[in-house]
Amino acid sequence: MESRPNTNLPPVATAYNGKDRNAFLFGLNPQAELWNGRLAMIGFLAYLLWDLAGYSVLRDVLHLIGY
């Protein structure tokens, strides 16, 4: 049985940094990236629901489905 060599990697940083991750802060920070992802998911879901309701602009412009 082989043993793996010791790589002496530093421990994973899992410590809490004391900042609220759900705070709505402006600027380039981790909180802004979380909110950007959340709002992008909401926008994507809203467009899918709008498309399923029959109000698709993208389908009409690109003529993806024939009439």
Structural domain spans, the chain: 30-62
Contacts with 47 (C-beta within 8 Å, 6 or more apart), sequence order:
none
**Interatomic CA distance for residues 31 and 22, integer angstroms:** 6
Tokens of 12: 């994973």
Tokens of 1: 């049985």
pLDDT in tens, 12-56: 655 556 667 777 777 777 778 888 899 999 999 998 898 888 887
Tokens of 52: 């399923």
* pTM of the full structure: 0.53
Position 41 scores a pLDDT of 97
Tokens of 35: 């909110």
